[in-house]
């Protein structure tokens, strides 16, 4: 019964999530229609209010005012939402006056999986190439890949990637040797690993960070 239930849940999740190739990497995220904008604001507001532990001391009214003044940020958040990232506010930078949004889905965003790390890795594959790569998709969406430190900070706000894993921004000294880093959470702890950057898996995506 558990297997049947899990399969049904996965099917429902997939039906509600747009695959990564919905983005035109040349033209980035398409402008939002009024109905899409309103629906996104409702989703963000509901998530913000249900998860106050992620942003204690912050108020939705001020966040929404910032969002309504930034169409580009709204388009980026729509891309995060549409690919299953469930973005939410996780902090506020008092120096820059920016709110920090991050993908807060329980597992690595479903619509951004089966991607190798970057374009060089994608080009190095001679066969069985994935549809894209995490670095280019992040740039097209207008987000930064979480680095290891940011990933660990996110894990203080909840338990993420207990069944999946996520690529993280990789230092040049590692990438220059052909590798790339990814993280997950297992056994109550956060782990960082390495793989060939050209590898890709159905259970690995990436999490993005947006400053607004």
For residue range 114-150, what is the model confidence (pLDDT) as tens digits?
Answer: 999 999 999 999 999 999 999 999 999 999 999 999 9
Looking at residue 211, its pLDDT comes to 98
Query: What phi and psi, each to the nearest 5 degrees, are found at residue 191?
Result: -120, 145
Compute CA distances 56 → 41, 44, 85, whole Å: 20, 16, 21
Residue 120 three-state SS: helix
Q: Say what the pTM is.
A: 0.87
For residue range 86-118, what is the model confidence (pLDDT) as tens digits?
Answer: 999 999 999 999 999 999 999 999 999 999 999
For residue range 172-192, what is the model confidence (pLDDT) as tens digits?
Answer: 999 999 999 999 999 999 999
For residue 15, give every residue at least 6 positions away whose Cβ sits within 8 Å of its Cβ, in sequence order, or none: none
For residue 126, give every residue at least 6 positions away whose Cβ sits within 8 Å of its Cβ, in sequence order, or none: none
For residue range 57-76, what is the model confidence (pLDDT) as tens digits?
Answer: 999 999 999 999 999 999 99
For residue 140, give every residue at least 6 positions away whose Cβ sits within 8 Å of its Cβ, in sequence order, or none: 23, 24, 25, 28, 29
Domain count, the chain: 1
- Cross-strand bridge partners of residue 182: 167, 193
For residue range 2-55, what is the model confidence (pLDDT) as tens digits?
Answer: 333 333 334 444 445 656 544 544 445 568 999 999 999 999 999 999 999 999
Q: Read out DSSP for 137-188?
A: HHHHHT-EEP-HHHHHHHGGGS---SS-EEEE---HHHHTTTEEEEEEEETT
Range of 48's domain? 2-211
């Amino acid at each position: 019964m558990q297997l049947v239930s899990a399969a049904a849940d996965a099917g429902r999740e997939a039906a509600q999530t747009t695959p990564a190739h919905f983005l035109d990497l040349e033209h980035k995220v398409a402008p939002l229609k009024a109905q899409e904008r309103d629906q996104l604001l409702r989703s963000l507001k509901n998530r913000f209010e249900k998860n106050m532990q992620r942003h204690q001391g912050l108020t939705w009214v001020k966040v929404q005012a910032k969002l309504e003044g930034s169409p580009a940020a709204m388009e980026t958040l729509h891309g995060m939402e549409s690919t299953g990232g469930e973005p939410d506010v996780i902090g506020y930078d008092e120096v820059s006056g920016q709110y920090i949004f991050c993908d807060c889905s329980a597992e690595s965003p479903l619509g951004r999986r089966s991607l190798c790390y970057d374009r060089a890795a994608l080009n190095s594959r001679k066969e069985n190439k994935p549809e894209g790569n995490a670095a280019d998709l992040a740039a097209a969406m207008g987000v930064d890949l979480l680095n290891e430190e940011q990933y660990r900070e996110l894990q203080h706000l909840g338990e993420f990637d207990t069944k999946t894993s996520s690529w993280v921004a990789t230092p040049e000294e590692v990438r220059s040797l052909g590798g790339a880093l990814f993280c997950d959470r297992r056994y109550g702890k956060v782990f960082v690993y390495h793989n060939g950057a050209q590898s890709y898996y159905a259970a690995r995506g990436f999490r993005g960070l947006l400053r607004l």
